[in-house]
C-alpha cells in the first residue's frame, strides 16, 4: 500500500485533541474496578466490564456515534464517512485488565480512539471512509484464557464456540458471562463478526522501557514477538499428608514443580530475549494436609524469532512428559501466535504523522501482545506507543503522563484521518 502525505485536515484533527478530556475519561474509567495502589481489576465479561461498556456507550451516544456489538462482545463505535459503503478504518484496544492491572493498559487505546473521533468533529474534518473505535473483548485472557480472544474471533482465527466452555477460577463459563454482558446492552445493534476493514491503528502504552529511556513521547511500532500458550494438567491421587508414604504418592504438585523446572531450563537464554512465565496455577484440593491430586498450570513463552518460538513451543509437551513419574500429564496448546510484522506503509504513516506534529519518534517492536496482531492478518495495521513510567505494566503502579498520552492521541488522530482520506 502506498500512502500519500498527510493532508492539512489530518493535522487539524490532531491539533483538536484535548489532553484534559482524554485524561478525565481515563480517570473515570479507572474508577470502574479500582483497587488499592491506583490499580484496576476489571476482568473481561465481569460486572465491571459491563459498567465500563455502559460508560463508553454513553460517551459514544453524546458524540452521535452508532454502536454495534458482535457475538463475542466486541463493541464498535462508528463515525460515518462521506462514502458509507467504504470499508471502515478501525482503531481501539481493550477495556479488560489483569487482576492487578493498571489504569492505562488497553483502555488508553479505546479512549484515545474516541478522542481522535471527537477531535475530528471539533476540527470539522470529514473523512471519506468511516472510522470505527473498537473495544475488543477479553484481550488480557487473565480471567478466561487465552488472550486476544475478541480480535481472534473477528479475524476468523477462532469461533465463539471454541471458547464458550472456558471457565474462570471460580468455575464460571465464558458462555454464561458473555450472555450476561450482551444482555446488559439490549439496545446495541448486533453485527456479524469480521471485515472488511480498510486499515487498523491501535494506540497503547509501551509497557517497556525504551521510549522513556530515549526521552520520546511516541513510538511507531514495527511488530509483535511470537507467543505460545499452553495449559498443563497433571493428575495424581489425593492422599493423607500424615500417613501416605512419600514413595507411594502420586503427588501432582511435586511433578508439576519438576516440569516447571525443566521448562525453565528449556527456555534458559543468556541473551535474555526469551520470555517464559508460569502465571496461573490451580491446585486441587488445595489443602495443607492433602497430597495434591490435580494441578493445572499455564505456560507463556515468547520470542521475536519465528524458528525459535516454534522450537520452544514444540518442546513444551515432551519436556513435561519427561518429568511425569506416577502422575499423568495433558498438555493443551491454547494460543499460537507467530511473530507479527506490521505493514511498513502504516509504520511510515505513524512516523510521518509524528514528524509533521513536531514529535521526535523511534521505531520499536512490541514485547506485549495486542489485538493489532489479529487485525494485521486482515488489513494494513500499525500501532502508536507512548511511554509508561519505568516500563511497569500488569501492575497497579502502571503510570503514564497526560502530555504523552495526548501526544499519542494526536498521532493517532492524524494517522486515522490520513488513512480514512486515502
Q: Cβ of residue 314: shortest distance to Mn ion, in angstroms?
A: 26
For residue 62, the minimal CB distance to Mn ion (Å) is 26
Cβ(322)–Cβ(263) below 8 Å:
no
Shortest distance in whole angstroms from residue 24 CB to Mn ion: 21
Q: Do 274 and 303 form a contact (C-beta atoms < 8 A)? A: yes
Residues 106-125 touching Mn ion, rule: CB under 5 A, are 106
Q: Which of 93, 369, 415, 421 binds ligand GLV (CB under 6 A)?
A: 369
Residue nearest to ligand GLV (CB): 368
> Does residue number 396 form part of the binding site for ligand GLV (CB under 6 A)?
no
Establish if 368 lies at the interface with ligand GLV (CB under 6 A). Answer: yes
- Cβ atoms within 10 Å of 259's Cβ, excluding its own: 25
Among Mn ion, ligand GLV, none, partner that 147 touches (CB below 5 to 8 angstroms by kind) = ligand GLV
Which of Mn ion, ligand GLV, none does 369 bind, CB closer than 5 to 8 A by kind?
ligand GLV
- Least Å distance, CB 204 to ligand GLV, is 10
The vertex-13 CA angle with 386 and 408, nearest 5°, equals 0
Per CB under 6 A, does 97 bind ligand GLV? no
Q: Exactly one of 70, 96, 105, 212 binds Mn ion (CB under 5 A); which one?
A: 105
Q: How many residues bind ligand GLV (CB under 6 A)?
A: 4
* Binding-site member from 11, 30, 52, 147 for ligand GLV (CB under 6 A): 147
Could you give the C-alpha distances from 182 to 7, 50, 160, 221, in angstroms and in order? 39, 9, 13, 33
- The yes or no reply on residue 45 touching ligand GLV (CB under 6 A) is no
Where does 66-195 show beta strands of DSSP type E? Answer: 66-69, 75-79, 89-94, 131-136, 189-190
Name the residue nearer to ligand GLV (CB basis): 94 or 249. Answer: 94
Q: What span, in angstroms and rounded, lies between the C-alpha atoms of 158 and 119? A: 35
Least Cα distance to 371 among 160, 66, 109, 195 occurs for 109
Rule CB under 6 A: which of 124-143 touch ligand GLV? 140
Helix-strand-coil percent breakdown of the chain, rounded to 5? 35, 25, 40
CA distances from 61 to 51, 83, 120 (A): 15, 21, 16
Q: Is 309 in the site for ligand GLV (CB under 6 A)?
A: no
Query: Which residues would be at the binding site for Mn ion (CB under 5 A)?
Result: 105-106
Amino acid at each position: 500500500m502506498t500512502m500519500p502525505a498527510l493532508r492539512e485536515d489530518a493535522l487539524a484533527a490532531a491539533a483538536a485533541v484535548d489532553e484534559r478530556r482524554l485524561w478525565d475519561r481515563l480517570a473515570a474509567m479507572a474508577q470502574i474496578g479500582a483497587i488499592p495502589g491506583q490499580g484496576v481489576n476489571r476482568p473481561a465479561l465481569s460486572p465491571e466490564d459491563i459498567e465500563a461498556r455502559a460508560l463508553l456507550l454513553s460517551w459514544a451516544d453524546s458524540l452521535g456515534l452508532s454502536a454495534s456489538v458482535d457475538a463475542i462482545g466486541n463493541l464498535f463505535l462508528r463515525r460515518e464517512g462521506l462514502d458509507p459503503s467504504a470499508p471502515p478504518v478501525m482503531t481501539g484496544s481493550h477495556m479488560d485488565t489483569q487482576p492487578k492491572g493498571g489504569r492505562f493498559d488497553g483502555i488508553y487505546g479505546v479512549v484515545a480512539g474516541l478522542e481522535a473521533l471527537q477531535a475530528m468533529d471539533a476540527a470539522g474534518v470529514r473523512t471519506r471512509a468511516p472510522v470505527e473505535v473498537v473495544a475488543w473483548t477479553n484481550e488480557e485472557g487473565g480471567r478466561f484464557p487465552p488472550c486476544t480472544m475478541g480480535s481472534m474471533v473477528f479475524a476468523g482465527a477462532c469461533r465463539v464456540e471454541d471458547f464458550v466452555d472456558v471457565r474462570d477460577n471460580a468455575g464460571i463459563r465464558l458462555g454464561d458471562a458473555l450472555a450476561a454482558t450482551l444482555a446488559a446492552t439490549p439496545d446495541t445493534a448486533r453485527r456479524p463478526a469480521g471485515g472488511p476493514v480498510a486499515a487498523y491503528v491501535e494506540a497503547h502504552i509501551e509497557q517497556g522501557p525504551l521510549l522513556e529511556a530515549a526521552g520520546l513521547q511516541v513510538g511507531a511500532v514495527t511488530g509483535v514477538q511470537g507467543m505460545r500458550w499452553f495449559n498443563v494438567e497433571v493428575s495424581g491421587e489425593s492422599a493423607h499428608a500424615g500417613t501416605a508414604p512419600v514413595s507411594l504418592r502420586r503427588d501432582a504438585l511435586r511433578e508439576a514443580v519438576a516440569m516447571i523446572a525443566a521448562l525453565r531450563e528449556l527456555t534458559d537464554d543468556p541473551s535474555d530475549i526469551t520470555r517464559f512465565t508460569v502465571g496461573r496455577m490451580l491446585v486441587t484440593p488445595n489443602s495443607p494436609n492433602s497430597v495434591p491430586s490435580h494441578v493445572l498450570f499455564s505456560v507463556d513463552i515468547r520470542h521475536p524469532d519465528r524458528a525459535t518460538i516454534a522450537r520452544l513451543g514444540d518442546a513444551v509437551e515432551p519436556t513435561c512428559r519427561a518429568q511425569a513419574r506416577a502422575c499423568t500429564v495433558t498438555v493443551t496448546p491454547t494460543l499460537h501466535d507467530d511473530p507479527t510484522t506490521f505493514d511498513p506503509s502504516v509504520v511510515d504513516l505513524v512516523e510521518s504523522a509524528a514528524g509533521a506534529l513536531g514529535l521526535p519518534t523511534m521505531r520499536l517492536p512490541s514485547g506485549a501482545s495486542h489485538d493489532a496482531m489479529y487485525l494485521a492478518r486482515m488489513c494494513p495495521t500499525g500501532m502508536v506507543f507512548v511511554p509508561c513510567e519505568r516500563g511497569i505494566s500488569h501492575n497497579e503502579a502502571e503510570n503514564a503522563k497526560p502530555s504523552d498520552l495526548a501526544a499519542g492521541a494526536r498521532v493517532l488522530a492524524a494517522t486515522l484521518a490520513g488513512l480514512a482520506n486515502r
